[in-house]
Amino acid sequence: MTVYKTKVNNIGEEAELFQEEKMVILFGENAPAELAEYCYNIQVNPIEGHIAVGQHVYFGDVPFEITAVGDVVEKNLQDLGHITIKFNGESIAELGGTLYVEDKEMPEVNIGTKISIQ
């Protein structure tokens, strides 16, 4: 079951800097200007259900298993389209707005890339 789906509308000039830290920052259409340049801008859509460990985040057709879910991920994604996805396989969510996924090669993210949580 698909819990969330969106697509990348724009990429901030500095968004790729966070790849070295194995993270992607998503933010909806209303990202503050001072943050937008560091984010992958997405369309804000409703969440249908709950995001849980064991589900997968898909970037296009490439799945990443969710290993931990911060306590405000659902609220932030629903309200702002704003979460950080960290590709380090952590099983404890240290940051409330971060979704942690398995530690493997990060996906290529471009304008038009579809992102879903299933």
* pLDDT 10s digits, 38-81: 999 999 999 999 999 999 999 999 999 999 999 999 999 999 99
Whether the pLDDT of residue 33 is over 90: the answer is no
CA distance 44 to 2: 15
Residue 104 vs residues 35, 58, 66, 101: alpha-carbon distances, Å: 26, 13, 12, 9
| Residue bearing tokens 């404890």 | 92
What domain range is 17 assigned to? 4-117
Average pLDDT, the chain: 96
What pTM does this model have?
0.95
Helix (H, G, I), strand (E, B) or coil at 18: helix
Q: Supply the CATH number for residue 83's domain.
A: 2.40.33.40
Split into its structural domains, the chain has a count of 1
Q: How many CB atoms sit inside 10 A of residue 110's CB?
A: 11
